[in-house]
């Protein structure tokens, strides 16, 4: 690699190597580029910089499509070569540019310059031109170093949010929330922090923080300050510090989609609580970031689209079964009382209790809510509102001695968030007289 190159500008499309995007008013259409460190001059940014005076005094420029009314930010580094060099920044429609700033800097350090430009009405093509005015030393091929040029719009972070799976879901299911942040503006979105409140009716799933792609991809810690993301238990929210250079205490920098087309994506998971049965879970994420293109940082925010997840109704059915006596003799009537209660959070439909009589018992009668079929042992309760109770009184005759174990189990159309109390059992000892089977311990659970 040579220490410097003089190359054709972008208009010389047949040239095997040229400077992309840039044009010059020089009659030979040549642009001079220096590599960092040549003759002791380091780049202000990157590995190379331009000298406005290549073989003659000239203007380096670009013509870009613009939207009227838009505020454009510009910034650049300028430096003299042999002493104090002077250049002008001209902006406007091609053919009618207006000098925006006259810039003079010495040879010992790069000068940093920024400003804004509002695109006038009807101006859909704007020229940004860097015009050499004067250079120390008097040589027309020497002077006005230029580097770190930017002109464009402020950062604009767009958040896209997804809830996976889409639903409808059940109580106890897991929702993965995935948020993609893309910078569709011009400048970098600095100090980028994404926050997402855990939606009511759900519980954060520990260990689920992850940056799926973009800078700092990987699984994150739940503890504040340990990584680029954490769960804030006090505020019941997740926080992600996104972008290049993000740390446990601050957000990083997200370049625009020209440099990072897919942006960066973060995700976390929640479990649907019982209280959300039959409802909708709504969730929206927010990003805060800074536009640092101007003289002072400008605070900006973005909000994602709202994700709505439908949750199917849930009904917790609890069964209690008891017998009027746990020790009887052959021929005696055993009376069972079966109670099913819906403890919510929603009404139960199609409630059924399976309570078949075991061998050794002969059905006599049944009374209570719904209908009992002695052939199948199915008690059809029907619908049961949240907090409602239904009771079945079932009578049977003891036909033979022995221990008789009997279970009643309830089901419904809705998911039961706690199936551990859906069934209950009782044991009755049937004796001839005075005893048939050894000592029987009265009570349930034999």
Whether the per-residue pLDDT at 261 is higher than 50: the answer is yes
Compute CA distances 91 → 67, 118, 191, 430, whole Å: 14, 10, 30, 103
pLDDT digits (tens, 9 = 90+) for 160-201: 999 999 989 999 999 999 999 999 999 999 999 999 999 999
| Overall average pLDDT of the 306-335 stretch | 95
Q: Among residues of the chain, what percentage have pLDDT more than 90? A: 87
Whether the per-residue pLDDT at 433 is higher than 80: the answer is no
Compute CA distances 337 → 97, 390, 422, 423, 425, whole Å: 94, 11, 15, 13, 11
Residues 177, 295, single domain; the answer is yes
| Overall average pLDDT of the 376-403 stretch | 95
Whether 446 is covered by a domain: the verdict is: no
Whether 439 is covered by a domain: the verdict is: no
Task: Give pTM, 2 decimals.
Answer: 0.80
Backbone angles phi, psi at 355, to 5 degrees: -145, 65
Residues 193, 78, single domain; the answer is no
Whether 444 is covered by a domain: the verdict is: no
From first CA to last CA, the distance across the chain in angstroms is 90
Q: Residue 215's pLDDT band (boundaries 50, 70, 90)? A: confident
Q: What is the pLDDT of residue 224?
A: 72
**Which two structure tokens, joined as six digits, stand for 22?**
């840039």
Q: What is the pLDDT of residue 439?
A: 53
Q: From 273, 290, 310, give the residue that closes a domain.
A: 310
Whether 54 is covered by a domain: the verdict is: yes
Query: How far is Cα 326 from Cα 431, in angstroms, rounded to an integer?
Result: 11
Sign of the torsion formed by the C-alpha atoms of 110, 116, 120 and 121:
positive
> How many other CB atoms sit within 10 Å of the CB of residue 265?
20
Whether the per-residue pLDDT at 445 is higher than 70: the answer is no
Q: What is the pLDDT of residue 435?
A: 47
pLDDT digits (tens, 9 = 90+) for 10-55: 999 888 899 999 999 999 999 999 999 999 999 999 999 999 998 8
Q: What is the pLDDT of residue 260?
A: 94
Q: What is the pLDDT of residue 30?
A: 94
Query: How far is Cα 52 from Cα 61, in angstroms, rounded to an integer?
Result: 10
CATH number reported for the structural domain that contains residue 47 in this entry: 2.60.120.260
Domain of residue 285: give its range. Answer: 157-310
Q: What is the pLDDT of residue 440?
A: 53
Whether 441 is covered by a domain: the verdict is: no
| Overall average pLDDT of the 103-118 stretch | 95
Whether the per-residue pLDDT at 438 is higher than 70: the answer is no
Which residue would you say has higher pLDDT here, 26 or 444?
Answer: 26
Closest CA to 81 of 41, 133, 25, 47: 41
Residues 122, 22, single domain; the answer is yes
Residues 280, 222, single domain; the answer is yes
| Overall average pLDDT of the 366-377 stretch | 94
Residues 11, 66, single domain; the answer is yes
Q: From 275, 310, 345, give the residue that closes a domain.
A: 310
Whether 144 is covered by a domain: the verdict is: yes
Residues 347, 293, single domain; the answer is no
Whether the per-residue pLDDT at 436 is higher than 50: the answer is no
- Return mean pLDDT, the chain: 92
Size of the chain in residues: 446
Closest CA to 162 of 196, 192, 191, 185: 196
Closest CA to 404 of 436, 372, 433, 367: 436
| Overall average pLDDT of the 130-146 stretch | 92
Q: From 152, 183, 213, give the residue that closes a domain.
A: 152
CB 192 within 8 A of CB 265: no
pLDDT digits (tens, 9 = 90+) for 57-89: 999 999 999 999 999 999 999 999 999 999 999
State the DSSP string of 275-335: GGTTSEEEE-EEEEEEE-SSSS-EEEEEEPPPEEEEB--BEEEEEEEEES-SEEETT-EEE
CATH number reported for the structural domain that contains residue 357 in this entry: 2.60.40.1530
Whether the per-residue pLDDT at 321 is higher than 70: the answer is yes
Q: What is the pLDDT of residue 223?
A: 74
């Amino acid at each position: 690699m040579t220490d410097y190159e003089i190359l054709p500008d972008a208009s010389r499309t047949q040239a095997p190597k040229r400077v992309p995007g840039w044009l010059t008013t020089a009659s030979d259409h040549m642009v001079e580029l220096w590599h960092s460190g040549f003759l002791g001059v380091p780049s202000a940014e990157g590995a190379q910089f331009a000298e406005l005076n290549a073989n003659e005094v000239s203007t380096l420029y670009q013509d870009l499509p613009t939207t009227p009314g838009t505020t454009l930010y510009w910034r650049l580094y300028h430096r003299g070569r042999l002493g104090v060099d002077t250049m002008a920044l001209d902006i406007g429609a091609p053919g009618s540019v207006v000098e925006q700033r006259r810039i003079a800097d010495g040879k010992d350090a790069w000068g940093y310059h920024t400003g804004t430009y509002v695109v006038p009405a009807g101006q859909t093509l704007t020229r940004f031109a860097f015009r050499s005015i004067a250079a120390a030393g008097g040589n027309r091929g020497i002077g006005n170093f230029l580097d770190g040029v930017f002109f464009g719009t402020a950062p604009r972070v767009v958040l896209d949010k997804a809830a996976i799976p889409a639903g409808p879901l059940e109580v106890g299911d897991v929702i993965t929330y995935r948020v993609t942040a893309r910078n569709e503006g011009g400048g970098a979105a600095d100090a980028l922090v994404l926050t997402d409140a855990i939606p009511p009716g759900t519980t954060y799933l520990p260990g689920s923080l992850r940056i799926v792609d973009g800078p700092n991809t990987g699984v994150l810690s739940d503890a504040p300050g340990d990584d680029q993301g954490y769960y804030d238990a006090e505020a019941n929210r997740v926080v992600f510090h996104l972008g290049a250079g993000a740390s446990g205490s601050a957000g990083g920098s997200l370049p625009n989609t020209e440099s990072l087309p897919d942006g960066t994506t973060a995700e976390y998971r929640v479990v649907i609580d019982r209280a959300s049965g039959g409802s909708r879970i709504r969730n929206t994420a927010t990003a805060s970031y800074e536009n640092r293109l101007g003289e002072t940082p400008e605070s900006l925010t973005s909000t994602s689209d709202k994700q709505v997840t439908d949750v199917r109704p849930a009904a917790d059915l609890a069964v209690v079964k008891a017998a009027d006596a746990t020790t009887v003799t052959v021929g005696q009537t055993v009376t069972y009382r079966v109670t099913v209660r819906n403890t919510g959070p929603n009404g139960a439909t199609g409630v059924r209790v399976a309570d078949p009589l075991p061998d050794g018992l002969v059905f006599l009668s049944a009374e209570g809510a719904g209908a009992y079929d002695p052939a199948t042992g199915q008690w059809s309760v029907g619908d049961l509102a949240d907090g409602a109770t239904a009771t079945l009184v079932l009578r049977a005759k003891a036909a033979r001695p022995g221990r008789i174990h009997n279970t009643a189990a309830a089901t419904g159309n809705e998911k039961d968030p706690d199936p551990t109390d859906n069934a209950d059992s009782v044991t009755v000892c049937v004796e001839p007289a005075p005893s048939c089977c050894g000592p029987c311990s009265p009570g349930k659970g034999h």
